Amino acid sequence: MNTMRPYPYEYMNLRAVIVLLMLWLVHAASGYTTWDGKAVPPMADPVNPVICSTFVQLYMAVRTQVPGRVIVLKPGTYDIAAVAPLRLDSPNVTIRGLSDDPSAAALVGGGFENCANLEEELINLYTRNTTIANLTITECRCNALKFQGGVNDQTVLHNVRFLNVGERMIKGPGTTNAAQCSIRYCHFEDTKVPSATRCGSDATDSDGNYIAGMDIMHATAWVVHDCVFRNIRGSSGGGRGGIFFWGGSPGNANTDMIVERNTFIGCDRAISYGNPSGTNCVNGGFIRNNFIVRGAGIGIEMENSTNIKIYNNTLYSTDPTYSRAVYFSNNFTGNEFRNNIIFGNISGSVTTISNNLSRTSSSDATTNWFVNRTNADLHLTSNATAAINSGAPGLVSGDWDGHGRIDGQCDIGADEFNSVGVQDWGALSVGSDAGISVMPNPFNPTVVISVGINAVGAYCPPSLALGETGNTPLQAIIYNTNGRIIAGLVLHNGQATWDASAQPSGAYVVRAQIGAKNLTKVITLVK
């Protein structure tokens, strides 16, 4: 008789965590992988969906929408040019593809070069808690998706592929009222370049450089992460940013905007926080852990902005002598530029510039620091000795892959050399992520651990988030990187504080469980 009992959850060692992760990765292999090699977390199965296989069915599902409707598109092409824009005006509406491959279901407009409908827009948002996922939006003359009116808080774009859009793939004008939006695992690409002079409603629209990925004003607490931006270019190299946050007129500034773990390649501008025509563009935020292969112009641009922390980015250029790989102008207080690898020159300055690696010789173009610089794989090789273990500590806890910087010696740039991932997504619920939130991270010596569900990281107790009514205490277990249990915490209202005064500096793994859902998070103690 076998008298062995399974290990209770609280004594599960890290080897079991890794085994579970490997099993999850096998499952994820059947899902979708982004252009830059990231497995897209699967979404939970939809509940009571309206399933569409024709344009007419999609049109009627949108026209008769009610709060909470989930519209699922079977693989196919949905030509919506004749009825666009699709108007979403009920809260908690989802439009998603049936397949995890976003190319399987495509919403198609009148065309990148369309002159019949110069102001063509394909989707307009007038509501909140909208989720768009697992589909392609393509061939649009003006704006593919626009924050049109009302309160657009907690919009989620998950695994959406934007392809060949003539002006803006995502547009948020000065009237935007959208807080806590999440743009994740999306792909932004143009395979076409506008003509120098094209049909347009005015001189601006007719300019072949009037093109961008996302152009956002007056937004609050957005997170753009794990996305790809490819070849967003104007007719003569003057296209706007792949990500372009700015204010324009006074009062339209963005607040607390985060751009992290993205890949940019071949864009005229990659990341722009502000521009010369704005007065107050972005107040607070981060640009961190991004891979950038510079195109015709600036890789990182910041103007008229305050309290922006630019940490641990890697920017490669085929011409490291370029004068404005990074460009700063007319900024305010609190801005920092630290732990970045830049192949090119830095023009201008900000409050704090420190611990960066800059390479500005033409011979640096053939560097052997990166795995595949041509295809924006800027993971470090062992040749990048100047970057490895040379970073200022305590600025970031993870890297471009989402791996923890666990050896206590942070590398410069977006990649932590030879890092290992400890992560278990499970299935994402529609419009929300279950997860562990830790504050601060890195920490010394105490950290607050919160376990719950929310799309953009705001804390929500799991009993409320999941509708659980049982009395079993929620626990979080702390492991070291050898798999040894260091501490067990009982979470009250989803939260607990861990005092690590007796522990050495280094990385630790927090593990918790909500029902059948296992969650992990890497935290870093820096003394």
What tens digit of pLDDT does each residue of 125-166 get? 999 999 999 999 999 999 999 999 999 999 999 999 999 999
Burial 162-191 (b: 16+ CB within 10 A, else e): bbbbbbbbbbbbeebebbbbbbbbbbbbbe
Considering only 90-94, 435-439, 505-509, which range has the smallest mean pLDDT?
Answer: 435-439
pLDDT in tens, 369-421: 999 999 999 999 999 999 999 999 989 988 999 888 866 689 999 999 988 66
Partners of 377 in the β-ladder:
372
Range among 9-18, 260-269, 272-281, 516-525 with highest mean pLDDT value: 260-269
| Residue, of 30 and 447, whose pLDDT is higher | 447
Q: Are 467 and 452 in contact (CB under 8 A)?
A: no
Task: Report how far residue 94's alpha carbon sits from residue 71's, in angstroms, rounded to the nearest whole number.
Answer: 6
Considering only 46-55, 196-205, 239-248, 415-424, which range has the smallest mean pLDDT?
Answer: 415-424
**Which residues fall within 8 angstroms of residue 443, CB to CB, at 6 or more apart?**
500, 523, 524, 525, 526
Partners of 353 in the β-ladder:
337
pLDDT of residue 90: 98
Sign of CA dihedral 261, 264, 265, 270: negative
Residue 64: CB atoms within 10 Å: 10
Nearest CA to 409 among 400, 418, 401?
418
Mean pLDDT across the stretch 325-335? Answer: 97
pLDDT of residue 247: 93
Task: Report how far residue 437's alpha carbon sits from residue 418's, in angstroms, rounded to the nearest whole number.
Answer: 25
pLDDT in tens, 346-381: 999 999 999 999 999 999 999 999 999 999 999 999
Sign of CA dihedral 498, 502, 508, 509: negative
For the chain, the first-to-last Cα distance in angstroms comes to 50
pTM: 0.79
